[in-house]
Amino acid sequence: MPCDLILALDVPTRADAAPILRSLRGSLRWVKIGLQMFTACGPDCVREVAGHGFQVFLDLKLHDIPHTVAKAVESLAPLPIGMLTLHTSGGREMMVAARAAQQQAKPDLLLLGVTVLTSMDAAALAEIGVSAAPDAQVARLARLATEAGLRGLVCSPREVQLLRTQLPAEVQLITPGIRPAGEAGLDDQKRTLTPAEAARVGANYIVVGRPILKARDPAAAARLILAELGSGERLKG
């Protein structure tokens, strides 16, 4: 399966989003709505993005007691979303409850477990009491998530190849922390790869925000990234 592109629509208002969405129609299929937009605009921004013809990845990283997370999944299920995130560090019981709620309320929704944020490195993990290296912690949480029934994971592209050796082949891997070839600034991302590199190691989707949003021509930037993805053949496992 080829690797696909998801735009991270990290803008402050719906008014900022509208011209970007119009310019990107026909260039890509998926748009990610995160905390910034959802907090500012609520469910209406999800409906608006879907109304532009995009599939929506709602990235809220749910993390609470099992009952609360399950009820949140139920509340979000009527929205036109295809993917939804929760934190794997919430534990097995929380993920099992979320999966049960998703199966009941929206069977075609792909629940994604977030492992270790791409802004975190070994030093950041140590500060919160995790002595494991980032890749070891990612692998531990990924196995827990798949045992709990999740069929997709969010991880750094640098851990994709490792996870492909440890998880069922059908598990979908979604990778932020992507910077196109020649992109200078890494911003707050610390564990990054280029689109072609992510495709080669086995990512199903890559998430890209600022390199598209800040481009003079967002549609052209998206097409360049898609072309770069097409140049990245899968590594043989």
Distance CA 153, CA 131 (A): 22
Type of residue numbered 191: R
Catalytic residue among 61, 71, 106, 190: 61
- The verdict on whether 190 is a catalytic residue reads no
DSSP sequence for the chain: ---EEEEE---SSHHHHHHHHHHHTTT-SEEEE-HHHHHHHTHHHHHHHHHTT-EEEEEEEE-S-HHHHHHHHHHHTTSS-SEEEEEGGG-HHHHHHHHHHHHHH-TT-EEEEE-S-TT--HHHHHHTT--S-HHHHHHHHHHHHHHTT--EEE--GGGHHHHHTTS-TT-EEEE--B--TT----TT--S-B-HHHHHHHT-SEEEE-HHHHTSSSHHHHHHHHHHHHHT-PPPP-
Residues serving a catalytic function are 61
